[in-house]
Amino acid sequence: MGARGLLALLCLCSGAALAAEVVEALDVGRFVSGQTAPPAPWQLLRFDPRVAPTQFRLREWDGVAALEASADASMALLARPLTVELSRTPILCWRWRVDAPLHNADMASKAGDDYAARLYLAFSLPSSELSLLTRAKLALARRLYGAQVPDAALNYVWDNRQPIGTVRPNAYTERAQMWVLRSGAAAAGGWVSERRDVRADALQAFGTRQVQARLLAVGADTDNTGEQAHAGFAELHFVPPNQPCRFSP
């Protein structure tokens, strides 16, 4: 092969390698107008059969094809399994809204552990990232509550009283960290866009980026306070760090 042929082949191979490195956005919750029931693989996730479940449906909401969550002294999440390479697409984007924040919720107490809207991510971690004590606690929790108990979880929440940016353990377990992205009524009544680096947030919350996202869920829960909440979620997707979120106009 001559020099020109070799150069052309190298250029072609380099171009193919560059093309192979282009990472596309991963849609995990783009809903379709005209449907009413959440599509597979979304499914209802209840924690206590004695508690009424939050109701979910699809609807067109101010021009946005959205998932609506309506809570009335109720608790449930709408969840789906995740297969996402966070090393390549660590940025989670979504839109959400609430009609109003809750009045009596207080994330610092079990009695007040309610949220007008929350987005939940469950992770598995390498055993090397879990202390012996943590592994023992998780084993006990799984014997009591089932194998679905994750190694760790992040909850992005719309709170009623804590300042934006507050990060603290859930009132029930330190393996679930609560992250306040919105608080109060200032942004209520309209769609708000979010962009979070999940790996960076996991590092802050759990001291490691070595997390595998296994489950994504959304919901509104008011079983502790007995209040009502009305929330919406739309256009959930992951993108690489150097790409913008891909929200509809």
CATH number for the domain spanning 179: value is 2.60.120.260
Would you say residue 130 lies in a domain?
Answer: yes
Would you say residue 215 lies in a domain?
Answer: yes
Would you say residue 4 lies in a domain?
Answer: no
Q: Which tokens in the block code for residue 150?
A: 């994750």
The percentage of the chain sitting over the pLDDT mark of 70, rounded to a whole number, equals: 82
Query: Residue 34: what pLDDT?
Result: 85
Would you say residue 105 lies in a domain?
Answer: yes
Would you say residue 67 lies in a domain?
Answer: yes
DSSP 103-164: SS--TTSGGG--EEEEEEEEEE--GGGS-HHHHHHHHHHHHHH-TT--SEEEEEEEESSSPT
User: Which residues pair with residue 77 across a beta bridge?
Assistant: 45, 219
Integer Cα distance of 105 and 126 in angstroms = 34
Please compute the mean of the pLDDT values over residues 69-88 and round it to a whole number.
96
Residue 151 amino acid letter: D
The pTM (predicted TM-score) of the whole model is: 0.86
3-state helix, strand, coil in the chain (%, to 5): 20, 35, 45
Query: Residue 244: what pLDDT?
Result: 97
Q: Which tokens in the block code for residue 119?
A: 């987005």
Domain that holds residue 148: 26-239
Residues 6+ apart with CB under 8 A from 87: 199
pLDDT in tens, 186-241: 999 999 999 999 999 999 998 888 888 999 999 999 999 999 999 999 999 999 99
Task: Give exposure, 193-218, as e/b (b: 16+ Cβ within 10 Å).
Answer: eeebebbebbeebbebbbbebbbbbb
How is residue 54 annotated by DSSP?
Answer: P
Would you say residue 2 lies in a domain?
Answer: no
pLDDT in tens, 163-177: 999 999 999 888 789
Integer Cα distance of 4 and 151 in angstroms = 55
Query: Residue 1: what pLDDT?
Result: 39
The count of domains in the chain is: 1
Would you say residue 15 lies in a domain?
Answer: no
Would you say residue 71 lies in a domain?
Answer: yes
